[in-house]
């Protein structure tokens, strides 16, 4: 299959492909998504094939207007309405009991569905033009860092999908916050651009799922299947160092060798004697979120790198989302240095 690279002006071609059972990578403000008609089980199954995604990992359904949620869910409780009014359009996914129209391929056999209204204008226009909700997980090969540019998608998906709609670089750079309203209190399953504090200020108490910051025991049932998989990992081994910037610099300089690299803040590059990859400023967690996946992909391009020491980000606010992705990229390997 030849994968077409479509520009913004070719949105109608993307809509046509989606209406006719095709798979198209689309830009959103979080990361690029791999989209298909959410009501067409066969089209959705092609997403799993292209990504190599385990069939038990459900997909997020994207809509272009809040009214479209009613055809997807069996209930729309007050807390969910409050969240949607406040944070939509934007990087928040809510999980609710699903309607009968959702095929099992989308919900991976669960009785629930995840829904999001993205703020990216091109994404919303495309959903409107296609006239159908779009099921779309991140447009990367399963396990690899999520794509934040059309070029990243091409690296992973060339020849496997119908088209890529190029909408530039994603502004948030990490996947959406995922909250389930099927527990009481609601549970944050995946941190993202909307923070725990923002959610709590809207609907009161929100639980933090164990899998957000810690490794879950494989035998334990997890609410969000995606959180049990190793994710976002480059080929090199990543080890997080939880310490001050000074200690980090000192530690990696002592490990100096050809196959060692550092994933560090912009400000520290000049003090580090091994190869460096940066993921933004220590003062700017939003920039860290936006840059992290690109940095992980850059590491993959350098075959000489075997071990990467990564400076641990702050875990508060959007920093919690940055840490959640980085700790998975590291397979939960964290060294604490006093
Ligand atoms: P992705 O779209 O690749 O960013 O992954 C979507 C994330 O949302 C994964 O971690 C899924 O496991 C999670 N998810 C999607 N639908 C549900 C659902 N119905 N219940 C729990 N988690 C879900
Ligand atoms: Mg993903």
Same domain, 184 and 268: no
Sign of the C-alpha dihedral computed for residues 278, 226, 107 and 23 taken in this order: positive
Residues 278-303, mean pLDDT to the nearest whole number: 96
Same domain, 170 and 24: yes
The C-alpha atoms of residue 198 and residue 282 are separated, in whole angstroms, by: 22
pLDDT tens per residue across span 74-117:
999 999 999 999 999 999 999 999 999 999 999 999 999 999 99
- Candidates 18, 289, 36, 8; CA nearest to 121 is 8
Q: 102 Cβ partners below 8 Å, 6+ apart?
A: 38, 39, 61, 72, 113
The rounded mean pLDDT for the chain is 95
Q: Which ligand is nearest to the CA of 143?
A: 2
Peptide bond into 185 cis (omega under 30): yes
Number of domains in the chain: 2
pLDDT tens per residue across span 162-192:
999 999 999 999 999 999 999 999 999 999 9
Pocket of ligand 1 (CB under 6 A): 57-58, 60, 95, 107, 110, 112-114, 137-138, 175, 178, 189-190, 223-227
Question: What CATH number is associated with residue 327?
Answer: 3.40.50.11030
Query: Which of 212, 247, 263 lies at the terminal end of a domain, its last residue?
Result: 212
The C-alpha atoms of residue 322 and residue 268 are separated, in whole angstroms, by: 19
Return the pLDDT at 224.
Answer: 74
Same domain, 178 and 257: no
Question: Residue with structure tokens 């080890």?
Answer: 239
When pLDDT is cut at 50, 70 and 90, the band that residue 307 belongs to is very high
Residue 219 pLDDT > 70: no
Question: What CATH number is associated with residue 146?
Answer: 3.90.870.10
When pLDDT is cut at 50, 70 and 90, the band that residue 233 belongs to is confident
Q: Are 77 and 181 in contact (CB under 8 A)?
A: yes
Query: Which of 165, 197, 212 lies at the terminal end of a domain, its last residue?
Result: 212
Residue 230 pLDDT > 90: no
| Token pair recorded at residue 173 | 């750079």
pLDDT tens per residue across span 257-287:
999 999 999 999 999 999 999 999 999 999 9
DSSP 68: G
Rounded to a whole number, what is the distance in angstroms from the first to the last CA of the chain?
Answer: 53
Which of 107, 189, 324 has most ligand 1 atoms within 8 Å of its beta carbon, as the pocket-test mutant? 189
The residues whose Cβ lies within 5 A of ligand 2, an ion, are: 138
The C-alpha atoms of residue 195 and residue 208 are separated, in whole angstroms, by: 11
Same domain, 250 and 129: no
Q: Are 278 and 291 in contact (CB under 8 A)?
A: yes
Give the C-alpha distances (Å, rounded to integers) separating 15 from 18, 103, 122, 132, 216.
5, 21, 11, 10, 39
Which of 26, 30, 31, 60 has most ligand 1 atoms within 8 Å of its beta carbon, as the pocket-test mutant? 60
Q: 106 is in which domain, residue-wise?
A: 4-212
């Amino acid at each position: 299959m030849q994968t077409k690279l479509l520009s913004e002006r070719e949105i109608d071609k993307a809509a046509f492909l989606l209406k006719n059972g095709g798979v198209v990578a689309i830009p959103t403000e979080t990361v690029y998504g791999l989209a298909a008609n959410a009501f067409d089980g066969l089209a959705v199954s092609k997403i799993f094939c292209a990504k190599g995604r385990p069939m038990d990992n459900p997909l997020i359904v994207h809509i272009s207007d809040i009214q479209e949620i009613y055809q997807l869910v069996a209930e729309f409780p007050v807390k969910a309405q409050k969240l949607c009014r406040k944070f939509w359009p934007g990087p928040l996914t809510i999980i609710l009991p699903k309607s009968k129209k959702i095929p099992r391929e989308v919900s991976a056999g669960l009785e629930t569905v995840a829904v999001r209204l993205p703020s990216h204008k091109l994404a919303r226009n495309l959903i409107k033009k296609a006239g159908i909700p779009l099921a779309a997980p991140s447009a990367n090969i399963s396990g690899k860092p999520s794509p934040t540019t059309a070029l990243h998608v091409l690296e992973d998906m060339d020849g496997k999908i119908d088209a890529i709609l190029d909408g530039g670089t994603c502004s948030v750079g990490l996947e959406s916050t995922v909250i389930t309203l099927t527990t009481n209190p609601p549970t944050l399953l995946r941190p993202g651009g909307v923070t725990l504090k923002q959610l709590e200020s809207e609907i009161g108490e929100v639980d933090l799922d164990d899998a957000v910051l810690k490794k879950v025991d494989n035998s334990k049932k997890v609410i969000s299947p995606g959180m049990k998989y190793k994710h976002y990992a480059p080929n090199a081994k990543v080890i997080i160092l939880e310490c001050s910037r000074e200690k980090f610099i000192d530690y990696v300089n002592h490990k100096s060798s050809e196959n060692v690299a550092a994933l560090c803040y912009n400000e520290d590059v000049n003090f580090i004697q091994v190869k460096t990859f940066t993921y933004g400023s220590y003062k700017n967690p939003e920039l860290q979120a936006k840059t992290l996946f690109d940095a992980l992909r850059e590491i993959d391009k350098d075959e000489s790198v075997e071990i990467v020491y990564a400076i641990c980000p702050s875990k508060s606010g959007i920093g919690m989302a940055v840490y959640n992705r980085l700790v998975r990229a590291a397979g939960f390997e964290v060294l604490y240095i006093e």
